[in-house]
Structures are given as structure tokens and as C-alpha cells.
Amino acid sequence: MLKILLTSAVIVLLSSSEETKVFICDSENAVAYHYTKKCRGIKQCKHKILEVTKEKALERKLKLCGWED
């Protein structure tokens, strides 16, 4: 029973991380995603700033901003 509960907890944690909202610059040259709109890295964006899921940002091959880690 404990094994089932632990497995369920891991699944919930993994699925919730995919639902995490992040901010990206809507530019073809964007390279990073950001957890906050106030991040120093995203302030350089001259395009629209979008709020997307972390999963979508990773699909665009964006990496976590260096100012965020």
C-alpha cells in the first residue's frame, strides 16, 4: 500500500511541474524561459511577453534563464 501511495505522489509531482507557468519572450531568437515577469533576463525582450506552461517552453527548446538559477 505504501508503494502505491509513493508512486501516486511522484506522478502528481511530475504532472504538476509540467503545469508550471513561465514567461517567455515571443521572439524567434529567444533562448530562455523565466519564472517571473520581473526577471532581469526578460526585461531585454522587445517583443510580446507570453505566459505559457513550462512544457511549452521546453518544446521550444528554451532553457531556464541564467538569472533564475
> What pLDDT band is residue 68 in, cutting at 50, 70 and 90?
confident
> For residue 65, what are the contacts with CB-CB under 8 A and spacing of at least 6?
32, 33, 34, 39, 41, 42
- Between CA 25 and CA 47 the distance in angstroms is 6
The per-residue pLDDT for range 1-55, each reduced to its tens digit, is 666 655 555 455 555 555 899 999 999 999 999 999 999 999 999 999 999 999 9
Domain boundaries, the chain: 20-69
pLDDT of residue 62: 97
pLDDT of residue 4: 62
> What pLDDT band is residue 56 in, cutting at 50, 70 and 90?
very high
Does the predicted model carry a pTM greater than 0.85?
no
